[in-house]
A and B are shown apart, each in its own frame.
Chain A
Amino acid sequence: MLLRVENLHKRYGKEEVLRGVSFSLEKGETKVIIGPSGTGKSTLLRCINRLTEPDRGRVFLEDVEITSPRVNINKIRAQIGFVFQDFNLFTHLTALDNVRLGLIRVKGLSKREATQRALQELARVGLADKAKAYPAELSGGQQQRVSIARALAMDPKLILFDEPTSALDPELIGEVLSVMVELAKSGMTMLVVTHEMGFARSVADEIIFMEKGVIVEQGPPEQLFKRPQHPRTAEFLRRITELYGGEG
């Protein structure tokens, strides 16, 4: 088992955002988390690499407890890629330097090795020719692909995607999704929060439906989309189809 999440709780003031979430992820698996906005999906992702500290519960990466206070969290984070909704590319760095920064500063690669590695990853997301461009000179879709390359370059054990296409214009979503599909096919372990039901259906090994800080239902896409066990799941799927159009 690559990732194990046990009974995570997180509260912001009065509001309990996570109310005991548990699941696990095998190596090479892609799981997609769906659910209405404000149900704690993003918080869950951030609790996994402790960008947000959970109040209670434990997270294991392989056999290491990430949530242990003794763990060197920077070392752990270097093994977990994170792709943000609004990309968060480093504004003052070129695409190449965005990808290189972690390689040099965290992994301790030489500049030459890092450059080589970074160019490979940029090529993998189809942006080798944009290495010298600054984020502001790239489209949203290109920026998100650079940010995926930045995560990939670190050679992570798993990548967390936090609504990677939500900030994109519709015509730019496709290029990002196709990169993600390729990734999943290549055997990368991925945990994806998204509203892209088409992607969820075709790529996910399992889908997790979350609402109000708990997992309501999880299972293979076929089961969840065709025979949801829970009325809340059915209701959500009906509304999301209305909103985003018919899928598959």
Chain B
Amino acid sequence: MRNMGVAVAVVLLCWAGLAAEKFIVGSDIAWPPFEWVSAKGDYLGFDLDVMRMIAVLEGYEIEIQAIAFDSIIPAVIAGQIDIGASGFTITAERAQVVDFSSPYWVSDQMVLVRADSGLNIITALMPGKKVGAQRGTTGAFWVEDNLIAQGVAVELVLYETYPEAIMDLLAGRIHAVIQDQAPSEQAVRQYPGQLLIAGIIKTYEEFGFLVAKGDPKKILPRIERGMQKLRETGAWDNLVSAYFGNPLEVIEAAWEACISILTVERDPVRYAACLAAKVQELRK
């Protein structure tokens, strides 16, 4: 009996050791629908749910840590966090210091103007116009590389957060804001009749999850395998249909109704199906 007890203890310890394998995911949780804080205070969003689902599929734990966007890559490099999941566009510059997963999302940039401004995509980006963007984002880089560097003298105004840029646009201090498609659409939904999509800039940016250079903890293969499983089972499509093009309150309600399927029952496929169905149901 005693030997049996020891054996059980050893097994439990090993199991605990395995279960304790935990990766820290860093994300700037202020960029819906990829990541945001719900009215109830939960961290949700497309990126974060993908991370949670893959963790279940691949048998590891994750801890999601809210960190300012600019700090995420330095923190990954230093080993403070293991994975960056915050709508990162894969760029050659970033790829020199971190390793990216294969692309999981493709985005274009959108230019927003005030509905009453009468500006269009051409006139909004003419010399002398003030164009707002969030610091460190590809929208800001696009303006620098494709307008200013090419001699189109727009004035680029940088903000710490995207909402601050929108505030200034509404207040009439700048003429346009450039930002990724999904958050831009979100903004238009939240200011009905006040904001207008002046146009889309086809930048074809690919988003990736990122880990430390050389992937010392061998996380990327597991993320790839996880993404593949999600796609094969249709969970990926369900997740996309739930998260994109819907009001945040609806997504939050659906998430609350379904999340236990993922966290308690640990069934990502059924969770995604539940989320998509619930969103459809609530939108009616």
Give yes or no for direct A-B contact (beta carbon below 8 Å): no
